[in-house]
Structure 1
Amino acid sequence: MAHFPVNHPARPIYRAIGGLTGLYLTAFGVLGAVTTLGDELFAQDDTKVLGQGANLGFSLVALVVGAAILAGTALGRNRDVAINKGTAYGLMALSLFELAFLQTDVNIFNFSIATVIVIMVLGLVLLTAALYGKVGTDEEHKAWQEARLVL
Structure 2
Amino acid sequence: MAHTPVNHPLRPLYRALSFLVGAYLVAFGVIGLIQTSGESFTGASDVRVLGQGSNMLWSIIALAVGAIVLATAALGRNLDVEANKYLGWAVLVIGSYELATSRTDANFFGFTIATVVATYLVGLALITAGLYLKVAPQSQVGAPRQVREGRPA
Q: TM-score scaled by structure 1? A: 0.94
**Relative to structure 2, which stretch is displaced further, 86-95 or 42-51?**
42-51
Corresponding residue for residue 139 of structure 1: 139
Unpaired runs of at least 5, structure 2: none
Corresponding residue for residue 85 of structure 1: 85
CA distance in 2, matches of 1:148, 1:90: 36
Deviations 1:60-98 (A, max 9, x none): 000000000000011101001111001000011110010
Is the alpha carbon distance of 1:114 and 1:148 closer, same or farther for their aligned partners in structure 2, counting shifts above 3 Å?
A: farther
Q: Report the residue type matching 1:101 in the other structure.
A: T
CA distance in 2, matches of 1:147, 1:121: 32
For 1:1-151, what aligned pairs fall within 5 Å after superposition?
A: 1-143=1-143, 145-146=144-145, 149-150=148-149
- What is the RMSD of the two structures over their aligned residues, measured on CA atoms? 1.5
CA distance in 2, matches of 1:148, 1:18: 31
Unpaired runs of at least 5, structure 1: none
Contact kept in structure 2, 1:7 and 1:134, CA below 8 Å: yes
Cα drift, residue 146 of structure 1:
4.3
Contact kept in structure 2, 1:2 and 1:147, CA below 8 Å: no
Is the alpha carbon distance of 1:76 and 1:49 closer, same or farther for their aligned partners in structure 2, counting shifts above 3 Å?
A: same
Q: Report the residue type matching 2:13 in the other structure.
A: I
Cα drift, residue 148 of structure 1:
7.4
Cα drift, residue 137 of structure 1:
1.7
Contact kept in structure 1, 2:43 and 2:107, CA below 8 Å: no
Bigger radius of gyration = 2
Q: Report the residue type matching 1:89 in the other structure.
A: W
CA distance in 1, matches of 2:146, 2:120: 31
CA distance in 1, matches of 2:140, 2:121: 30
CA distance in 1, matches of 2:120, 2:30: 20
Is the alpha carbon distance of 1:69 and 1:27 closer, same or farther for their aligned partners in structure 2, counting shifts above 3 Å?
A: same
Q: TM-score scaled by structure 2? A: 0.93
Q: Report the residue type matching 1:111 in the other structure.
A: F
User: Whose RCO is larger (CA < 8 A, sep 6+)?
Assistant: 1
CA distance in 1, matches of 2:22, 2:92: 15
Higher helix proportion (structure 1 or 2): 1
